Each structure stands twice: as structure tokens, then as C-alpha cells.
A and B are shown apart, each in its own frame.
Chain A
Amino acid sequence: MAAIHVRDLRKRFARKTVLDGVTFDVADGKFVTLLGSSGCGKTTTLRSVAGLERPDGGVIALGQRVVFDRSQDVPTRRRDVGMVFQSYALWPNMTVEKNVGYPLRVRSLSGAEVARRVAESLELVGLAELRRSYPYQLSGGQQQRVALARALVYEPKVMLLDEPLSNLDARLRAQLRLDIRRIQQTAGITALYVTHDRQEALSMSDSVCLMRDGRIVRQDTPEQMWRDPGSSYVARFLDAGVLLAADVVGNDGACAVLDVAGQRVAAAGAEPWPPGTACSLLLRNPRITMADGAVPAGVEVLQARCLVSATVGDMREAEYEIGGTMVRITSRIEDHDAVPAGELGRITFHRDAARVLRDE
């Protein structure tokens, strides 16, 4: 087991900068996710750690060993990492057992030892009875587990996972999320995981690195990142709530007073905001009501015109217009009155549950 250290990784493909100074650490035994939309450089970063991609500059260290810097580049096969590929990359000409045993045979282990460890490893992923099958005979989820077993069987220093769940259906994904987390913790292995799926990132990781345009824009624990996204980009990517464009007009204690399309509301801001700053307002659990009248202290109100609304089971989806901008809100029926199209409704929220965010 070993920590992963990445410093100032840079890479250009032709004219495009793919990695623009990526720096992060994964502590020993931790699970860190690189999260971002396609083309943000997350996979290139992961492949650089594996040695499958050669960065133009930067330093990569696994534990106490530098595997890449300006003077050296340890070949992939000597880096002692395990990797799970997006396509699983199971060798179609080998059975499950052969696939998993291959890394051990490469290491010239004895036949008995190979058999023992393959059995152990398949046990861990729950596929012991399928060891003589060929990859094409397995379902996607089973192939995924074989890939996992193969990446773990030789006890590499770190495990790298490249969108391993993206080819599975939603139900299986949810199941395997927990499985991967369990296996990682059982094995106590350091894991670096690449995904574009916020749910995967938030549910599995000890820490999430959100990447954008070849940089890490935010690294934090999932809880903290969710609670306080800090910027509209992070909030939008995490789908953290309803986002509205706003301007800061003043400060009221720990809250910033905002102008949202001509209406005044207050919301918690991490710092005092200078008046005149354009920002975004993040609403969490807003209530939509038809009722008029006074609201309790600390509750803010926005008038909004309903454009269209629909009910899906116990959820309501609706589009509202606030001073010319459109906002879509989906929430539970008990918090979301049906406002007839064309009518004004009220969006109410507690100022402490709302956040002022940097525009990005």
C-alpha cells in the first residue's frame, strides 16, 4: 500500500492543453475520485499515474518512489499498480481463472500459489464458481468483478479505476458502487477512481477532486463539497440544488443581501461579499406555495410565474420564470404546490439553507 502524490502534471496533445498543472495527493489506504465532464483530463491523469500516458512535465510518486519526473519514467509494468479499465479489458482468449492468474504467472509464482491466490481473489469478488468461464459468457457486472479481481490479485501498491461502472445499467451500478467500496476497504488499498458520475464520486470517495479544463478546481470530502460547493460550477456539476443568477447589494450579519431579478432576498455567504458582485444563489429544499401573507423570520420569498408543471408519482416538476429568467424545480409534492400555468407562486427558503456562490 502506498500514497499517491501528483505534482504539477502537464500534458499537451497537438494544440490542446489536456493537463494544466494537476496537483493532488491520495493518502495511504484512501479512496480518491477524479470527477469531471468528458475532456477535463481526468482519464489522462489516471493513465499518467499508470504510465500508459507520458506527461510533458510534473512529478508522480507512488509511496516513497518517484515513478515519473523530468529525468525518469518508470515503465508501466514496473510501477506495480492495479487497474480496472472502462471496457474491463478482459483477455477474451483466457478463462476467468487465466485472466486473474496472469499477473501472478508474469511474476513467476508457483502453480499452487497462483491457484490459491486466484481462488482467494475470486472469492473476494464473489465469482468463485465462474472461474472456468470465458469473458464473453459473463454479464457486464460479472466481467467488471473479474477485472477487479485481476487488478487486486497481485496486491499492487495502488489501484486505479477508469470509469469502471459506466457500461452498466443504473441498478447494477448502485450495487457495484458499494461492492467496490467494500472490496477496497477490505483490501485496505489506496484507490484512485475516475468518473463523470457525481453519485459515484459522492458515494464512494474519501475525497473528491473536481476537474475542469485540465485543472483541479476543488478537492474536498464529499460531505463538505456538497454542503458548500463554493462556486456555481461545482454546484451545477454536483446538481446541488436550484441555481439563480443574482447581484450582491449588501450584507446583513452573516448573510449577503441579494438582488434576484429585482427581488431582494438574503442568503448565507461564507464571507462578506462586496456590493455589486455578480454571483449565484443556490437554493436547497425550496418550498413552492400559492399562499400569501407573512413568513417566519429567516425565511425568504421569491415571486415566480409558473410556465408549466407536471406530476411524476410523488414528485412535481415545474418551470418558473423569475424576472425573465427560467428556473426548473423538481421536488416532493408536499413541498411543491401545483401552481396553475401563468399564475404567480411563491418560492420560499430559509436563508441559512441557501448559499451565495462565486460565479464560474
Chain B
Amino acid sequence: MAEQPRGIQRSLHSFSSRAAGAAGDNRRVRWVRSRLPRLLLLALFVVGIVLPAIYLIEAALSTNLPTAPVNAWTLDNLRRVYTTRQFLVPMRTTALFALSCAVITTAIGFGLATLYRRAVPYGAGLLRGSLMAPLFISPLVSTVGWVSLAAPNAGLLNILLAKAGLPTVNVVSVPGAVFVLCVYFAPYAFVFASDAIDRIGEDVYEAAEVVGSGGWRTSLRITMPLLSPALLSSFVLVFVLSSEMYSVPSVLTAPSGHYVLSNVIFSLTTSFPLDYNGAAAAGTLLLIVATLGLWVHMRATRAQGRFATDTGKAVRTGPREAGTRARVLSTVVMWIYVLISLILPLLGVILRSVVPFFSNNLSWHMFTAANYRAVTHDPAVSQALANSLKLAGASLVVAVIIGGLVAYSTVRNAGPLSKVVLFLANLPLGLPGTILALGLVWAYIGTPVYDSIYILAIAIFCGWLPIVVRVVQTAVLQSSPELENAADVVGSSLWRRMRTVAVPQLRTSLVMGAILAFVFAMNEISAAAILSTGNTATLSVLIYQYMQDGQYGYAAALALGQCVVIAVVAGLLLLGASSGRRRKEKKVPETSTPALGRTEATPERLVGTAV
């Protein structure tokens, strides 16, 4: 077609000049409007996350509470923390403790994953669910279970072992605490490992075989190097998470005189003489560990991306053929692990909740509902249950809104503003619950928020925020923007597009995010223990207090109740999410867009991407 006559050009120009005036404002309004959600999120994060983080540093560097009449800057707190035995000994304990947890958990996770992928057990689906289940059971709950089973004298397991003339085990010890935490964190390591193993294309093994490399040599020279970033990131993650762990050590290691840093921080903030400044200074170490750990974790994850042997070409991955004997063996080993990690502690909780105490002559007539009666009549329990449900319910709703909004708006609008919002949303990953709680105390002391459930809500929301954002973000990245563009083109408004196109795409991951937030809120104890007062105690805090008071029957009854609440809510949500999902699974056409991955959003995968 030849060049159009000049007439068109002139008319195009007259069009543009005619529309000039009012339309300039129109563009400015659009500029702000398109950024409004992210600007609001930014403001929210500054108040909820950045302020507490800054206040923690201020607390570590000052002589008194911010409300105190006399206050000055000082380095004394830090000097005390990093040079006196009062802090150095717990630091060493924490380091050894976290190191053991990290090594053992990574070994367990990778062992299980290798078995699972290389010698597929019978009933793999159920087994996988059972392997992941400990993730949803608070370590405090499994501590209740294990204390019931393996306390030095009165533990049921020990009673049985002693009767059989076998040596007994003692869970109220440092190894015991390590064991309980390893079992709790093992699902993370398992997810990391199975994902990494899945990424290795079958052709890699075949190529090694073709060039004459044997099984062991292939494992050593090819598989291990390919898995090493995943090993590292799982090691670092468990190290960070267990170094800030507070509840399990205080129940299991403190009785034998081994205190970890979180115990020290907690006692400085709750028992006389109160020393918030010293606590904050001690917290700086956890802050450093968490930040460093996160950094290494992120580097390792990126390195893993570089090692991805999945080149987008169709390469058979997944399980290799294994002999029947290997599969039977793997099935047995894994069920034994499930027995130890899931069934035994739950059984311990259940049994302990229906007897007043364990004794050598345990018999049926001892079974009683007395514990349940007692806890249901305790007004503190109904108060705590209400608090926990409020916090967890609010988490569920807010996770969908804030988590969805953060992930969606930052993925769909790349740019500096999105980067800042995303960075702030991930900041709590480097802020252990204890630390965040201290910062929040500083930020809100002297305001009505300080003594209310809202300060707890802020701490808990911060805790799950990065997890939920990751989960939804992955789903947004995998859903094609073209689907929304298509709705835009045919004339659909933003809200209609969200409702009819975007949200249905993200439904599964939004529900997963909501479940994770709910579970997190129910199980959170580190921040809750510091921030809650009589009226604002949560179920977890109450379980902890019962244990401190030696009321294990009550603790077990409550722990079981907590598990049931979580199971019911998570189950209902999952059911709701999966109904109709079958037909909504999309068959993505072969396109050049790698974002249209065909990875199905299974809960495990989502958890894996979250951490």
C-alpha cells in the first residue's frame, strides 16, 4: 500500500491538538491510580515491618525504654552481649544446636527424597502426604507428644522399654530437642531435595551410563554436584530457623541447664530484672544470622537455577525403574519414618490427654476425660481459643488480600516501586519472631496497641507474609498475562478482570497461602510469648504455660484441640479449592513463553517455593 495522502497526517494532528487539555490530567490520574495499591502496601509495610526493625536497633543502642524519662545512647548492651559469659555460653549452645539440626535435617530430607524418587515406594501419594504432615503440626505439640512418650521416668515408651528390659531414651535433653526439631523441619529439606532431584533430566544419567560411568561414580561426580545448591539452601534455612527457635529448647534443653539465645532474650523480657535493651542487643546476633542465612539461601537458589538441566526440551525426568525388592525396602523405611515423625508424637498427645498421669500399671480404667473437662472450664482457655481463632481467621482473610495483592501487583507491574514493595514484604524472613516482637514492643509501647491483640496480629502477619507472597507470586508468574490482556481487549474492567480471570487462575495458590497463614498464626509462639499478656494469650502460649507448670495432661488436651482445628480448617479449604479444579486444569499450548510452565501447584511444591 502506498503512503497515505497528507490529509490523514493533518487530520491526525488536528485530533491530537483537540484532545490535549483535559487529557493531560487524565494521564496523571492514571499514573497514580495504577500505583495506588502498591503505594498503600508500601505505607503498610513501613509501619508494620520497617519501623519495628529500626526500633530494635535503637533499643540495642540505648540505655532505657523509650517511654523512660532518662534515656541515652550507649554501646554497653552490645559489649555485654558479645563479651560476657551470660551471653557467650548460650550463643555457643545455640550454634551447636542449630548446626546439629541443620546437618541431620538435611541428611534426613535428602535421604528420604532419594529413596522416594529412585525407588518409588508403594502408595507414594499417601506416603508423601504423611511425610509433609509434620509441617502443619507445631513443634510445641510434638514436644508434648514426645515428653509423654519419652520423658526420663514417666514416659510411656520408656515404661514399656524398661519393662522389656531395654535401655530407655530421654527426650528432655539436647539430642531430644534436636530430634524433635529435625522431624519438624525435615519436610522442608525433603521438598528441596525432591525438587532438585526432579530437575535432573533422565538424560543426564543416561549420558553418564553411556560413557561408562557406574552408579557410585555417577552419584559422586554428577548427582551430588547438581544437588549441592539445594543441600546448601536447605542446610542454611534449617540453621536459621532452628537458631531462633524458642519453645522447644525451653521445654527440652533448659531443664538440663542448656539455654539457647532465644531463652535468654525471653527471660530478659519477661522476668525480673527486665532488661529490654540487653534483649535487643542479643537479638542483633539472631538478626545477623538470619540475614546472612537468607543471603546464602538466595544465592544457592539462584545457583540451582543455573544448574537446571531442564532445558525446556521434553526430557523424561521423574522416577527411574527400580526393582521390587528396592521398592519394598523403601516403602518399609519410609513408613517407619512416618511412624516416628508423625504417628508416635500424635499418639503420645492423644494418650496423654486422656490419662491423669502415666504409670507402670497403665490400664483402661485410668482413661478419663478429666483433662478435657478441666481445660474447657478454664476461662483462660476459651479466651485463648477466641484469640487464636481471631488471629488465625484474620490471617486467613488478610493473607488472601495482602498476599494476593503484593504478588499480583509486583509481578504484573515490574519496576522500582514493585522491587521496593517486594523487598519489604520479604524483610520479615530476616526478622525472627523474637526480634520482631522486641521491635514491636519498642514501636508501640505507650500506645493502646501495645497491650492489645493488634500488636500480636502485626507480628503474626509479618511472619507469614513472605511465605504467602512467595506462594502466590509463583502462581502469578506461571499464569500468562495474556489471559488478562485478552479480557482487557474485549472491554472488561479491572475489577471484572480480577474477578473473572485473574482470581480463578490463582485460586489454588491463594487457598494454599491462606492455609499456610492460618497454620502459621495458630502455631506461632516466639513472638506471641513475648507480646501476649493475660488477655491476649493464644492457644500456643497457653500450651506452653501448661507445660511450664507441669500440667502435661492439660497441655496435651489443648494441643490435640489445636491440631483438630488446623486439620478441619485446612481440610475444608483444600476441599473447596480442589472441587472444580480438575476441569480447570489448563492444557497450556506449546508456546515460546516459558512463564507458562506446566508445573501443577501441589501443596508440597507451593510450600517448597515458599521457603
Contact = CB atoms under 8 A, between A and B. Distances in A.
A25 B1 contact: yes
B27 A73 contact: yes
Given A85-B485, A93-B505, A167-B590, A107 B12 contact: no
Given A61-B12, A106-B496, A85 B491 contact: no
B585 A83 contact: no
A136 B586 contact: yes
B40 interface: no
Given A59-B16, A86-B482, A167-B591, A27 B490 contact: no
A5 B4 contact: yes
A66 B19 contact: yes
A166 B590 CA distance: 9
A306 B516 CA distance: 70
Contacts of B600: none
Given A71-B20, A71-B27, A83 B589 contact: no
Given A89-B483, A92-B505, A50 B489 contact: yes
Contacts of B12: 5, 7, 59, 61, 66, 69
A353 to B, nearest CB: 26
B542 to A, nearest CB: 43
Classify the secondary structure of A's interface with B. Answer: mixed
A85 B486 contact: yes
A224 B574 CA distance: 62
Interface in B457-498: 480, 482-483, 485-493, 496
Best-buried of A32, A75, A219 by chain B (most CB within 10 Å):
A75
A135 B490 CA distance: 18
Contacts of B587: 135-137
Contacts of B589: 87-88, 140, 143, 167
A305 interface: no
Contacts, number: 149
Interface in A97-133: 102-103, 106-107
A257 B227 CA distance: 66
Contacts of A321: none
B15 A77 contact: no
A76 B482 CA distance: 13
Interface in A17-34: 25-27, 30, 32
Contact of B490 (A52, A102, A134): A102
A160 B489 CA distance: 10
Interface string A278-314: 0000000000000000000000000000000000000
Interface string A63-98: 011100111110111111111011111111100000
Contacts of B487: 91, 102
A151 to B, nearest CB: 8
A72 B489 contact: no
Nearest to B14: A66
B23 A92 contact: no
A72 B586 contact: no
Nearest to A59: B12
A206 interface: yes
Nearest to A153: B490
Interface in B567-599: 583-593, 596
B117 to A, nearest CB: 28
A344 B489 CA distance: 60
Contacts of A75: 30, 488
A89 B485 contact: yes
Contact of A69 (B11, B19, B21): B19
A207 interface: yes
Contacts of A72: 16, 19-20, 23, 26-27
Q: Kindly state the interface size class of chain A when it binds its partner.
A: 35 or more
B167 interface: no
Contacts of A167: 589-591
Given A87-B593, A103-B490, A32 B9 contact: no
B15 A87 contact: no
A150 interface: yes
B285 interface: no
A184 interface: no
Nearest to A144: B589
Given A80-B491, A89-B482, A167-B590, A70 B1 contact: no
Contacts of A154: 490-491
Given A25-B1, A71-B19, A89-B483, A102 B27 contact: no
Given A30-B1, A106-B496, A140-B589, A66 B482 contact: no
Best-buried of B27, B486, B588, B590 by chain A (most CB within 10 Å):
B486
Contact of B489 (A83, A86, A221): A83
Contacts of A220: 1
B323 interface: no
B270 interface: no
A209 to B, nearest CB: 9
A91 B15 contact: no
A135 B586 contact: yes
Nearest to B493: A77
Best-buried of B11, B589, B596 by chain A (most CB within 10 Å):
B589
Contacts of A85: 482, 485-486
Nearest to B26: A72
Contacts of B20: 70-72
A19 to B, nearest CB: 17
Best-buried of B8, B9, B15 by chain A (most CB within 10 Å):
B15
Contact of B1 (A7, A69, A134, A221): A221
Contacts of B19: 66, 69, 71-72
A27 B4 CA distance: 9
B500 interface: yes
A160 B9 CA distance: 22
A69 B15 contact: yes
Interface of B: 1, 4, 8-9, 11-13, 15-16, 19-21, 23-24, 26-27, 30, 480, 482-483, 485-493, 496, 500-501, 504-505, 583-593, 596
Interface of A: 5, 7, 25-27, 30, 32, 50-52, 59, 61, 64-66, 69-73, 75-83, 85-93, 102-103, 106-107, 134-137, 140, 143, 150-151, 154, 160, 166-167, 206-207, 219-221
Given A75-B30, A93-B505, A102-B487, 18 more contacts: A27-B1, A32-B1, A64-B15, A66-B15, A70-B16, A72-B19, A77-B492, A79-B489, A85-B485, A85-B486, A86-B593, A87-B589, A91-B483, A93-B501, A103-B490, A106-B490, A134-B584, A167-B589
24 contacts: A7-B9, A25-B4, A71-B27, A72-B20, A75-B30, A76-B489, A77-B488, A79-B489, A81-B489, A83-B485, A83-B486, A89-B486, A92-B483, A92-B584, A93-B584, A102-B487, A102-B500, A103-B490, A106-B492, A134-B583, A134-B584, A150-B486, A206-B1, A207-B1
8 nearest A-B residue pairs (beta carbon): A92-B586, A136-B587, A103-B490, A72-B23, A66-B15, A69-B16, A89-B482, A89-B486
